[in-house]
Chain A
Amino acid sequence: AQSVSQHNHHVILSEAASLELGCNYSYGGTVNLFWYVQYPGQHLQLLLKYFSGDPLVKGIKGFEAEFIKSKFSFNLRKPSVQWSDTAEYFCAVNPGGYQKVTFGTGTKLQVIP
């Protein structure tokens, strides 16, 4: 069965610092990849997704993620974080063509003003 690993459980950064959250998955075939975000008191929402094509994917609010197939990774990045980026971030993966999605355990990001 596929699995998703997010190694950083809790990250604390100062505003303007750069962010990289790790995501690794275990599935050998074609995959679709997602990052979802849950801001305090709000619903989970999509941040960005990768289906095919350019492995560097840009999402909302200046976030991007790079799919590196050889490393089974889909790390999330942002060059300069803001206090409003404080949230919990979830990586998710599913085999191409199938709807079941497996989520990671999440990374809580706290940005200090």
Chain B
Amino acid sequence: GAGVSQSPSNKVTEKGKDVELRCDPISGHTALYWYRQSLGQGLEFLIYFQGNSAPDKSGLPSDRFSAERTGGSVSTLTIQRTQQEDSAVYLCASSLGAAGRTDTQYFGPGTRLTVL
């Protein structure tokens, strides 16, 4: 079946511009995660959506970062006024979201963001 998809696969932008990154989770998965993977930094948690609950935004590095999840499916991560330190691979993952436990996360291919 279809896995997690992300678009675009690569994005080059100029400093100060806004960018939107999209994630299509696996159908039926209620949990959705965004991570940032920088060289030598591992996976940095950004935000987590679970069903209709309020998202866990505790990982967002600044108020320039925001994310939405419409209709419990597609999610968009928006970075406003991009800075060079925002350059990284942005990964999306989804899981079934069973209550009371953590499921296996299925990752997308990522969006490589380069801020010039």
- A residues adjacent to B (C-beta < 8 A): 6, 9, 32, 34, 36, 43-46, 49, 51, 90, 92, 94, 96-106
Contact = CB atoms under 8 A, between A and B. Distances in A.
Interface in B67-100: 91, 93, 95, 97, 100
B1 interface: no
A67 B107 CA distance: 24
Interface of B: 3-4, 31, 33, 35, 40-45, 48, 50, 56, 58, 91, 93, 95, 97, 100-110
A99 B97 contact: yes
B42 A104 contact: yes
A103 B108 contact: no
Given A90-B43, A103-B35, A103-B42, A96 B101 contact: yes
Given A43-B3, A44-B107, A101-B33, A32 B43 contact: no
B56 A100 contact: yes
Contacts, number: 61
B101 A105 contact: no
Nearest to A98: B102
B102 A99 contact: yes
Contacts of A102: 45
B67 to A, nearest CB: 14
A97 B108 CA distance: 24
5 smallest CB-CB distances across A and B, nearest first, come from A105-B42, A103-B43, A44-B107, A43-B107, A32-B102
Nearest to B59: A100
Contacts of A97: 100-101
Contacts of B48: 99-100
Contacts of B104: 34, 46, 49
Given A45-B106, A96-B101, A102-B45, 20 more contacts: A6-B42, A34-B104, A43-B109, A44-B91, A92-B43, A97-B100, A97-B101, A99-B48, A99-B102, A100-B45, A101-B33, A101-B45, A101-B102, A103-B43, A103-B44, A103-B45, A104-B42, A105-B40, A105-B41, A106-B43
